[in-house]
A and B are shown apart, each in its own frame.
Chain A
Amino acid sequence: MNAESSRVAVESPGDLVDRRLVAWFYLAACLFLLVSMLGGILMALQLVRWNPLKGIEFLSPGRWRMVHTNAVAYGFLANAFLGTLHWAVPRLTMKPVASRALSYFIFFAWQLVVLATAGGLIFGPSFQAQPWLEELTAQTQLSLSLGAQGVEWGETPFWIDPVALVGLLLVAINFMVPVARSKGPMYVSLWYFVAAYIWTILTYGMGNLMPEYAVAGTNAGAITGLFIHDLVGLFVTPMGWGLMYYFVPIILQRPIWSHGLSLVGFWGLAFFYPLQGIHHFLYTPIPMFLQYGAVISTIAVELVVATVIINFVGTIWGDGEKIKSNLPLRWFYCGMLYYFITCFQCAFQVTLTFQKLIHFTDWVVGHAHLVMFGVFSMWIFGAMTYLFPRLLRRPWYSRQLAEWHFWLSAVGVFVMWLDLTFAGVFQGFWWSSLQPWMDSVNGAVPFWITRLFAGLAMAGGFGCFLVNLYKTWRMPPVSESEETMDLMLEPATV
């Protein structure tokens, strides 16, 4: 924030933020994460053949697996990011969002989108055999499914896609207005947010419309790969890093180490990330030079990631002790460590040599969990740990529960990643050595059992968080001033 814009500011930044709305977004995010975790546990139980809810149509693990992934992307991450944006963007621009009424409308519309998606995924397939629907499918020669559509993360039923797109457009308008109104150069976080608003719309539109309606076959595969990759790279990643650039300097009370490196990080991501989609479909009939291009740009982005990590290590250099006492900071830096691990892993697994062995195996599943939970969910937990006391105007009920949340999550996801990575290597060798298929399934069961318990640990950690949140909410508010909210961050005070 340069000198001019802080002179212009007449309101205190706190007044620009609608705390109630941030809290609502966070609560919705927590609710959907809970649903998603239940779906994940159900699928994990099915894999180890202990599913106690067998043969119940609306609890089919196949459908709940899609609820699991969609609830994380659209229910948990999107809601949590929207909540945090409502906190951060007005403070970064010193302007309120375009319209508070619009913010509330977006809140309700987005919950409707998420609930309708879940409803469609769970109930849609049961009603697919409708004469009118089959006739429409035959006339249009399109995959008009009441339930899922056949694109990962684009399963959103076809009748919700337009609503979700309008919602994303409204989000972009609501947050672009304060950015446009603000004066002076933008802070790093805002680069990521501004790019992410437009990327998310383009990515969502591309993945939810083109393979379903416009393009078939191999070309649809190229688009699908681009979509599943961009949803992580152009929606979740920029939102996540934007928040890191915002929260870390505030908590440490010192500026980002190198402005030049943050420029490299942003523009490197913007250029290389979108070019990588096809690496999800190596050895398909997609032209080989495009597959090579995707591999090379993926390796290139790992170098960019290294600059970002160096920048954040430089920022905390000399103050590293703080991650012991300051929980949000610990969440953030642990997430960054995992981010570095996933990206390092990615530079290897993306090569054709590794893909030969590990494509289609649990290796990829482990990688996905380390990215989505170990990095972005952990960052969000850190932001929630930092913000909930400020939203509810009372310090956390229990430091111990917060610690349990951290350790169960951090250890749980790491064990799951390690376990599934090994499982993937075994599966790859069993398959390529032409063992009977069931050998690869039976051999994977010990890994899947380990994964089940790692998942239960992650869910248990989140349970601690929910209990802590409920108990905090039941306590009387202590203060109107923000400084006291940091009470729990120092161990001596609890």
Chain B
Amino acid sequence: MFESKGGVFFIGGVGFFAFAFLANVVVPMAMFEREVTPVLDREMHFALEVDEDETKLVKRLDELRAAHPRAFRTHEGAEVAVGLDAEHRFVKQELDKLQEEFPDALSVGEGAEVAVGLVPENRNIQKQFEELERRYPEAFAEHFGEVSDETCAQALRLGRQVYIGEGCWHCHSQFIRPVSNESLRWGSVAASEEYDNELQKPVLFGTRRVGPDLSRQGGRHGHDWHAVHLFEPTWTSPGSPMPSYPWFFDGSPEKPNRRGLALITYLQWLGSWLDEYPYYEEFDEVKGGQY
């Protein structure tokens, strides 16, 4: 077996790879089975009203929730059933059956389309995007038109692509470790659920820091600072070895183009989901320095 063609190919080649795949890929996926939040999507929501005294109904609903956890959500304070894809349509049918069975105790409301995702559920990034429109009205009107969930989602998606394509992630990480005083410098330690979204597909942890970590960068600097910094990094950070990116601008940092506006939006988004946004160091010596 150890020297035969079949042994080497099937046990060494396929088998051991499969074992490692099971241990390092399937196990974490099974542990962290979570929904990937899109940047912007639309869902049908059906408002639910349940008479809690009907124990039989409550029990049946609990079973349904346990079997299809993703089909139920709290929206504007009330529980709703969510529906668009096949699983959720099945849940809707089950709910309709229950409604027939318990007409007085359960009511399933009319469906309403609701915007969900990183943009509609995050007021911080909406504000930043509005601020960007006020700061660069002409460039913004030319490249994105007007402020809306749709244009903000476009900016975030394109900004992420620019961030990857230009290789930003090779010198800037996006996770805070619980060691080396990193949480003093940058803010709260990275948590798994922060990364369960469309913009972390593929995940941008990074493996090298020439420049600082960026996962809590959003809100710390104004759009102006970012524009100037991208146009010529040494103007804001003397001695910085960061390359300059004049191609995000139409000639001057006053006129960012579509890629520039998108990248600034993306940078301001980083960390915007946290309560502490924007994060400033508590450590005085650090605060006194350039960073």
Q: Give chain A's interface residues, CB within 8 Å of chain B.
A: 46-49, 51, 54-55, 57, 60-63, 65-66, 124-126, 128-129, 134, 137-138, 141-143, 145-152, 154, 179-180, 185-186, 190-191, 194-195, 197-199, 202-203, 206, 210-213, 215-226, 228, 234, 263, 266-267, 270-271, 274-275, 277-278, 280-281, 283-287, 290, 293-294, 356-357, 359-361, 364-365, 428, 431-439, 441-442
Set A126, A212, A226, A266: member contacting B202, Cβ < 8 A: A212
Given A150-B204, A357-B180, A436-B291, verify A290-B12 contact (CB < 8 Å).
Answer: no
Task: Establish whether residues A364 and B258, one from each chain, have CB atoms under 8 Å apart when the complex forms.
Answer: no
Contact B5 A194 (CB under 8 A): yes
> B237 interface residue, CB < 8 Å from A?
yes
Contact between A149 and B195 (Cβ–Cβ < 8 Å)? no
- Distance in angstroms from B192 CB to nearest chain A CB is 4
Shortest beta-carbon contacts, A-B, top 5 = A436-B289, A125-B165, A62-B167, A274-B20, A217-B195
Whether A46 contacts B241 by the Cβ 8 Å rule is: yes
Given the contacts A224-B203, A434-B285, A179 and B5 also touching, CB distance less than 8 Å: yes
Extra inter-chain contacts (18) besides given A226-B21, A434-B283, CB under 8 Å:
A126-B247, A143-B164, A143-B201, A152-B170, A186-B5, A195-B8, A206-B21, A218-B196, A219-B29, A267-B12, A270-B16, A274-B17, A274-B21, A285-B192, A287-B28, A290-B28, A434-B285, A441-B239
From A60, A191, A215, B243 is in contact (CB under 8 Å) with A60
Is B201's CB under 8 angstroms from A142's CB?
yes
Q: Which of B2, B19, B200, B289 contacts A274 (CB 8 A)?
A: B19
Contact B164 A57 (CB under 8 A): no
- Whether B259 is near chain A, meaning CB under 8 Å from some CB there, is yes
What are 16 inter-chain pairs, A to B, with CB distance below 8 A? A55-B246, A61-B243, A138-B40, A141-B38, A143-B160, A145-B161, A148-B164, A149-B202, A216-B200, A217-B32, A217-B195, A217-B200, A218-B192, A270-B16, A275-B23, A442-B239
Please report the C-alpha to C-alpha distance between residue A221 and residue B200 in the assembled complex, in whole angstroms. Answer: 10
Interface string of B171-207 (1 = CB under 8 A from A): 1010101111110110000111001111011111111
Residues of B within 8 A of A61 (CB): 167, 243
**Complex contact B157–A138 (CB within 8 A):** yes
User: Would A218 and B32 be within 8 Å (CB), given that A143-B160, A263-B2, A274-B16 are in contact?
Assistant: yes
Binding site for A on B (CB under 8 A): 2-5, 8-9, 12-14, 16-17, 19-21, 23-25, 27-29, 31-32, 34, 36, 38-41, 153-154, 157-158, 160-162, 164-171, 173, 175, 177-182, 184-185, 190-192, 195-198, 200-212, 237-241, 243-247, 257-259, 262, 283, 285-286, 288-291
Within 8 Å by CB of B3, from A211, A224, A263, A293, lies A263
Q: How far is the CA of A71 from the CA of B83 in the complex (A)?
A: 47
CA distance A186 to B20 in the complex (A): 25
Contact residues in B for A438 (Cβ distance below 8 Å): 237-240, 289-291
**A218–B2 CB distance below 8 A:** no
Q: Min CB distance, A145 to chain B, in Å?
A: 5
Residues from chain B with Cβ under 8 Å of A223 in the complex: 24-25
In the bound complex, residues from chain A placing their C-beta under 8 Å from that of B212 are 437
Of all chain A residues, the one with the shortest Cβ separation from B155 is: A134
Q: Please indicate the chain A residues that have their CB under 8 angstroms from the CB of B164 in the complex.
A: 143, 145, 147-150
